Amino acid sequence: MQLGDGRELAWSEWGPVDGLPILFCTGAGMSGWLGFGASYLPELGLRLIAIDRPGLGLSTPHPNKTLSSWVDDTQELIQAHHLDDVLAVGFSQGAPFAFSLAERSLVKAVAIVSGQDELSHPSLQPLLHPDVARMIAALQQDAVEFERQFAQMATADGLWQLIMSMSAECDGLRPAFGDRLIYESEMFTQAYQQALHQGFSQGAHGYARDLVNALSPWQIKLENIDVPVDLWYGALDTSTVHSPDFGATLALRLPNVSHIVDHEQGGSILWTRARDILVKLKSHVSNTVV
């Protein structure tokens, strides 16, 4: 669709067109091409809408993309398509974008899955991986230079390798639940890499801008979000850029929260427990038992 300022906003969608809409805020550098839980959407009456954030995929870059400008763009989509009782899911780096929709009351409930935390928050400083702490320090020192450097050096293939390096291997005791077992399966690898290559099709500037927005102090107050928030984490998640305490601090900051930590899962919980995530999210606007 064309936005009011002339930019284009693109998305991918699955499920019945009259289903309850769920806006899917994708992970770092991804287009909306890779969804989740598609096989469950018809039976649950859900419509999954994964937007290409500006500068990623087919969406026109925003000259100064912020969490607030993302909400403005999304509000235009909601109004243009007359979407009601909208829900949202934020995966990994998509977490602050989903939280922003909730703070502005554009959605009725949110699920944050393997979500990035507000890593610049003082309470998390002692928990950060040294590499992440250095990134945040560099950003705070010179945000313009930080963004410029990442825009020059980041690639889809490089981001995929980074994701794999931060993904848990099978631990021997529970081999079925290692993230790499899922991520390295041929079909999933192709799908995830396709989403990344689409995300970087305009270059790395869209990703670099998202990175600045996600690692900077969030321009939202989590304490003001009164809609239900489901936090989903896998205790086997080894990513250094997701929540370092699996959402424990986040849960304390949110007034209306459900905090689920699955000790049998890792960061790929979005795909391994997709139906549970969708059913719980839908329950906040529907009393139907599925």
Q: In this predicted structure, what is the pLDDT of residue 184? A: 79
Q: Is residue 271 part of a domain?
A: yes
Rounded CA gap, 224 and 103, in Å?
A: 7
pLDDT band at 289 (very low <50, low <70, confident <90, very high): very low
Question: Is 204 inside a domain boundary?
Answer: yes
For 71-96, the pLDDT digits (tens) are 999 999 999 999 999 999 999 999 99
| 120 located within any domain | yes
Task: Flag whether pLDDT at 2 surpasses 80.
Answer: yes
Is 6 inside a domain boundary? Answer: no
Q: How many CB atoms lie within 10 A of CB 186?
A: 7
Containing structural domain, residue 108:
11-283
Residues 6+ apart with CB under 8 A from 51: 9, 10, 11, 23, 24, 25, 32, 59, 73, 74, 77
Tokens of 173: 């005791």
List of long-range contacts for 72-76, beta carbons under 8 Å, 24+ apart = 73/3, 73/7, 73/9, 74/23, 74/101, 74/106, 75/104, 75/106, 76/1, 76/3, 76/4, 76/9
pLDDT at 96: 98
**Structural domain contains residue 1:** no
Give the Cβ contact number of residue 288 at 10 Å: 10
Percent of the chain with pLDDT over 70: 94
pLDDT tens digit sequence for 271-283: 999 999 999 999 9
User: What are the φ and ψ backbone dihedral angles of 47, each rounded to 5 degrees?
Assistant: -120, 115
Tell me which of 9-13, 37-41, 96-100, 167-171 is least confident: 167-171
Are 108 and 85 a contacting pair, CB within 8 Å?
Answer: yes
Does a structural domain hold residue 113?
A: yes
Total domains in the fold of the chain: 1
CATH number for the domain harbouring residue 44: 3.40.50.1820
Q: Is residue 42 scored above 50 in pLDDT?
A: yes
pLDDT in tens, 163-192: 888 876 654 444 444 676 788 788 899 999
Sign of CA dihedral 170, 244, 66, 38: positive
pTM of the model: 0.94
Question: In the block, which residue shows the tokens 């990134």?
Answer: 135
pLDDT 10s digits, 219-258: 999 999 999 999 999 999 999 999 999 999 999 999 999 9
Answer yes or no: is 290 within a domain.
no
